[in-house]
Structure 1
Amino acid sequence: MHASQSAHLDDHADGLGSHAFRETAMTYVAALIALGTAILARHVLSPWIGATLPFVTVLGAVAAAACLGGYRPAALVAVLGYALSAWLLVPDHAVPSNASEFGGWLGLAAYLLTCALIVGFVEMARRRHAADREARAVQRAALRNVEEAVVTANAHGWVTSMNPVAERLTGWREIDAIGQPIDVVVRLMDASTGTPIGSPAALGIDQDCVMVGLARRTVLVSRHGTERDVDESTVPLRDGQGFQTGIVMILTDTTESRREERERQAQLRELRRRASIVEASSDAIVVTGMDGTIVTWNTAATRLFGHADALGKHVSLIVPRQRVAEEAAILGGVLAGCRTEHYETECLRADGQRLIVSLSISPIRNERGQVTGAGLIARDVTRQRHAEQRDRALLAQAIAEKKSLAEDLQRLAEALSERDRYKNA
């Protein structure tokens, strides 16, 4: 496996080397073609310009060679061009052979200096262009990996580039958007007023500052008419001298986050509404976690059980000692998903007084349906039960008294009957 990979890498390196050689060879061939064209053009111009400016067209070939391949092919063209021009076109301007030919040496020096200046300027331009091209390539690669939509525009407000995220949000392909006004490609609207935000000044062109949040809520309208909530910011682009050359607009799609925020706000309002209902309820409402810790304790619970600081404590503080096991079993069943309604038991007040309460206990579930705690609704039925006990006692007493009276009447009737029998006898 290692040997095959090494062979593959060697083949790849050989391929790259042969490709580079072909490119270099083609560059030199193109440079020589440019030189031949320059010599031919100079020959055609000879009837009109004569022997003056013998190397003028060669200088153009030198510039072309420098543009094509840099200083090496340009140097070759400069040397060959001088020799060929001096030999073929202007024999009197051949290469000087002695110091007496001062004019020839001066012309050669001027020619070489001109070629050097041309090659130097062209080489500087090539390197600057290569650096700009590399910077743009790095910028494009970086922009393609960011999650935000990025659109750049020049000082006139025309789009110069956009990344794939911007293409998806705006509905424009980069090839179609380049050269278009940025306010046409990036159509922003103030959601609260419905007015467009699209002037060059509003988008940050000719503004010497970073601009964030053009409206309280900004909507991006795509090319196809769909609307997305976005957060936008605009950063000026400057050249090496500090002059603004354009802008970079960064758009972050906030549609989902704002939808989630609206849902959270709705849930919060619902929770507040429920909390107000719980707080205003005349029944004691207690919510515990899975471990029995009290997390909700309304005002009615404080009135009923007498504990003002029950939050964070265990629910067993309202359970008599002899009923702890019973209450734990009931609470465990509820936490397992069961529901208990109107279960009467005894509870304990903070002052030690025992209460008879009617309990309804339900499991509390989260949005995934998992049980996260228990909710208890307690109603004090102590007075009712005591009243019922008194009523039962009075009823039993009345029944007993009625039974005793009936027995007395029975005995009286029997006595009268016995007396009547004796009297008749």
Structure 2
Amino acid sequence: MTAPQQPSTPLSGSTGLPPAAPFGADSAAAPGPGEVPADRRGGPADRPPTPPGAEQTPPWFRPPGAPRPPAPGPTPPAGPRRATTAPSRRRLPIVLVGAVVALVLIGGAAFFSWRYLEGQRYDARLAADRAAAREVAEAYLGALRDAKAAAALDTAAERPGNASLLTDETLRAARDKGGVTGIRVGEATIAQDRARRVIGDAGTVEVHYQVAGQAVDVALPVSRVGSHWKLSAVTSRVDLGAGSPPRTVFGTVPDTTIVDLFPGSYRIATTSTFVTLAEPDLIVTAPDPLGAAAQHWTGGEPGLSTQARSAITDAAHDSLSACLGQRSLTPAGCPIAITTGSAITVRPDTIRYTLLDDPWPGAEVTFDAASGGATGKVTLHYRLEAAATSGNVEGVVRQDYSYDAHFTADLQGSTPVITWK
């Protein structure tokens, strides 16, 4: 059996290899006799650091024929090393900035695309509203031209309160006399705020037409009612006057003196055939502006017609003739009232009246605006003859009379009615 090998121990005072360092100790920590310290030999402490990734070749492993590395020599003391940033850390801010820029560009593109689309939708809505406003103006004027009152009223945002004259018959008469012709509808203007993309509910439509040959250029106001555009006003309010006799429009007596009329030409008259108006033609050119008061018709001053005077004097002549034919000193309703003394008694059956001249050529007849009738004055010159007694004496009374007689004429009927004062 072989004994384990013991470590050799050099003899004291003998020469040879230096003592071996204990296991695990750094053999380069302390130089042996006659050896150069490691820091003097250009050891690792004096060598510059090998760049990362560089090929490290041990000095003892060289290919045949490879040049020997230069002998190590003293190196300058190492200066302070500059801190370096890892490549991944340098790239991170760049990536973040790029992402932010990309988000800004995408957001800006999306915003401008949205604004563009909103603008397109806004323009489309505005164009549709303008077209609808023009259509309602065209429908209104077309209904007036065609004398369709109901269709014209359908274009109104609010119907007039008095529609007694807003009929097809009246509108046809107005058209035949001088209605709406030559219609041209222009552009519509709608209230809007483009910056806020807001379209209002009111506007105007420029239109051109003629009424009784008179050119009319007007901006018709329109307003939105629900989902439809309507005309804010379709009629004109006219005050025909409250005088007597009552006014008529194409022979129709309106419910009130203030009437609503469509644009057109109208003939205004009175209920009396003997009373005419100074300017009987009324032309309504356009609907009233919103909130406007009724316009007073200045051409409505009444007066007697050309045949009224002769009709009145003829009626007064007949009335006076009836009076003169009565057998009474005071015939009822007549301009005759004769009295005698108490001593004289007149036999009524013998009374006779005789005109001594013709009073009618000089008769005066005047229109009375307060009553709507006429007043007249005629100078009478007549003679009374009658049998009479005074006591026991019988005789004949013959007396002439001359004075102005006054009368009024009611002109409401087909024949003037005379009343003597």
TM-score of the aligned structures, taking structure 2 as reference length: 0.22
User: Computing the radius of gyration over CA atoms, which structure comes out larger, 1 or 2?
Assistant: 2
If each structure's strand is expressed as a fraction of its own residues, which one has the higher value? 2
Structure 1 or 2: more helix by fraction = 1
